[in-house]
């Protein structure tokens, strides 16, 4: 069971995939996602998240190796639950692996992992990661059946998909926020660490940070986009400030 208290500081993990997207657009070595990761860590991030996709469209194998060497703090490797990715994780030993669904034609991770339907193959891959002493987080929709199935896998953490919340406004956003808050409470009661991710921006992070059970954010696209205007250090500080201010409102 987690020992974190409601009101504790929330970990900010920066997803640096889109630094690699810009690099790859030119086929040159810059901007470097590993340098970006180091700067984020020096300016208030608690960890770095990188998604090694099957098609290597942004982060590449060499980035993963160098991130493991140079990230001082938590290195969270996001990946699909495939044999290839499990072998890479076991060889690289990130601090945690987040398992996500992956479809080649999608622009970004759409929807959560189907843990209920994942069956023996998913359980086997989670088991291999845990046997290698790599904590596992599952990226799921905030639904009771997926959450109960997640807890049954022995995973360490759950990351709830906030994409739905991010796209809604008004009453509908409020309702989705309530669904996320209930799922967070239930996850902590099941002994899982609780993270949130996807579509989080400076404008919508506050109400999420005010959910007492949230322990971690994984934020990529909007933060890297904000860095164009604020600098990367400025963007990390802006998210840190917004998260801490919303969390302080709980006290
Ligand atoms: N968390 C998970 C599991 C993801 O797949 C992604 C997208 O790669 C993110 C967080 C970050 O989402 P965004 O780029 O929208 O901030």
Q: Is 58 a catalytic residue?
A: no
Alpha carbon of residue 90 to chain centroid: 19
Whether 2 is in a domain gets the answer: no
Whether 5 is in a domain gets the answer: no
Q: Which atom of ligand 1 is nearest to the CA of 98?
A: 3
Q: Is 198 a catalytic residue?
A: yes
Give the residue, by CA position, lying nearest to ligand 1 atom 5: 109
Q: Is 174 a catalytic residue?
A: no
Any atom of ligand 1 within 6 Å of the Cβ of 221? yes
Determine whether 160 is exposed, middle or buried from the number of CB atoms within 10 Å of its CB (0-12, 13-18, 19+): buried
Q: Which atom of ligand 1 is nearest to the CA of 78?
A: 3
Choice from 108, 166, 195 to test ligand 1 binding pocket (greatest atom count within 8 A of CB): 108
Distances (CA, A) of 185 to 27, 102, 193, 223: 45, 27, 11, 27
Residue whose pair of structure tokens reads 């989670």 in the numeric block: 126
Any atom of ligand 1 within 6 Å of the Cβ of 226? no
Domain of residue 25: give its range. Answer: 11-248
Whether 240 is in a domain gets the answer: yes
- Distance from residue 98's CA to the centre of ligand 1 (Å): 10
Whether 212 is in a domain gets the answer: yes
Whether 36 is in a domain gets the answer: yes
| pLDDT tens across the length of the chain (251 residues) | 344 444 589 999 999 999 999 999 999 999 999 999 999 999 999 999 999 999 999 999 999 999 999 999 999 999 999 999 999 999 999 999 999 998 766 777 678 999 999 889 999 999 999 999 999 999 999 999 999 999 999 999 999 999 999 999 999 999 999 999 999 999 999 999 999 999 999 999 999 999 999 999 999 999 999 999 999 999 999 999 999 999 998 64
Any atom of ligand 1 within 6 Å of the Cβ of 159? yes
- Report the number of distinct structural domains present in the chain: 1
CATH code where residue 131 lies: 3.20.20.70
Whether 191 is in a domain gets the answer: yes
Whether 112 is in a domain gets the answer: yes
- What does the alpha-carbon distance between residue 141 and residue 158 come to, in Å, rounded to a whole number? 10
3-state class (DSSP) for residue 79: strand
Whether 3 is in a domain gets the answer: no
- Distance from residue 59's CA to the centre of ligand 1 (Å): 13
């Amino acid at each position: 069971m987690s020992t974190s208290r409601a009101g504790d500081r929330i970990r900010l993990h920066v997803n640096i995939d889109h630094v690699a997207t810009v690099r790859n657009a030119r086929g040159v070595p810059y901007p470097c996602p590993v340098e970006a990761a180091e700067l984020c860590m020096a300016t208030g991030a608690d960890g770095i998240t990188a998604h090694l996709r099957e098609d290597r469209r942004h982060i590449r194998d060499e980035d993963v190796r160098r991130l493991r060497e140079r990230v001082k703090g938590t290195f969270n490797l996001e990946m699909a639950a495939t044999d290839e990715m499990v072998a890479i994780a076991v060889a690289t030993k990130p601090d945690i692996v987040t398992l996500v669904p992956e479809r080649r034609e999608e622009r970004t991770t759409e929807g959560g992992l189907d843990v209920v339907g994942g069956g023996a193959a998913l359980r086997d891959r989670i088991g291999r990661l845990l046997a290698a002493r790599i904590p596992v987080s599952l990226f799921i929709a905030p639904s009771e059946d997926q959450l109960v199935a997640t807890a049954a896998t022995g995973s360490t953490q759950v990351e709830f998909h906030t994409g739905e919340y991010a796209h809604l406004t008004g009453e509908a956003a409020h309702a989705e926020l309530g669904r996320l808050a209930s799922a967070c409470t239930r996850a902590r009661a099941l002994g899982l660490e609780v993270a949130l991710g996807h579509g989080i921006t400076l404008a919508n992070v506050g109400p999420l940070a005010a959910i007492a059970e949230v322990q971690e954010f994984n934020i990529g696209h909007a933060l890297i986009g904000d860095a164009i205007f604020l600098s990367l250090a400025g963007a990390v500080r802006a998210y840190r400030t917004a998260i801490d201010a919303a969390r302080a409102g709980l006290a």
